Amino acid sequence: MKKELRTTEGAAPVGAYSQGLVVGDFVYTSGMGPLDPKTGEVVGTDVATQTHQVMRNLGAILAAHGLGFDDVVKSTVHLQHLKRDFAAYNEVYKSYFNQPYPVRTTVGSELMDILVEIDFVAHKSA
């Protein structure tokens, strides 16, 4: 059984997908971009600023189910310019987590008018 997570504190879906789903003890988020949840506009023109906004959006979705960044077990990251932006994105990304960090896949992707998109899998312990 799956339950949809939705919050106005995170960016609204712009297509046929949910912000997040709860399935058992796991929360799966959709890929989040750097959209302001109030205006729907892209925040920032550099990867560091955009990564902070993505993490705020994802944090809001986690919080909608009583979770935080320490509950994240897996992330997938898409960067428009992998080689150019990896170091700046990574500095921002790691500032949201404590060790041990979640497992992660980071790839270069063709993104639509954004520099970074991230999704999470989180686990809620009993």
Would you tell me how many other CB atoms lie within 10 Å of the CB of residue 25?
10
d(CA 113, CA 42): 8
**Looking at the domain covering 2-123, what would its CATH class be?**
alpha beta
| CB count in 10 Å sphere of residue 62 | 24
Domain locations in the chain as residue ranges? 2-123
- What sign for the dihedral angle of Cα 41, 56, 92, 27? negative
Confidence of residue 124 (pLDDT cuts 50, 70, 90): confident
User: How are beta strands 20-23 and 26-29 bridged, if at all?
Assistant: antiparallel
pLDDT tens digit sequence for 61-95: 999 889 999 999 999 999 999 999 999 999 999 99
pTM, full prediction: 0.94
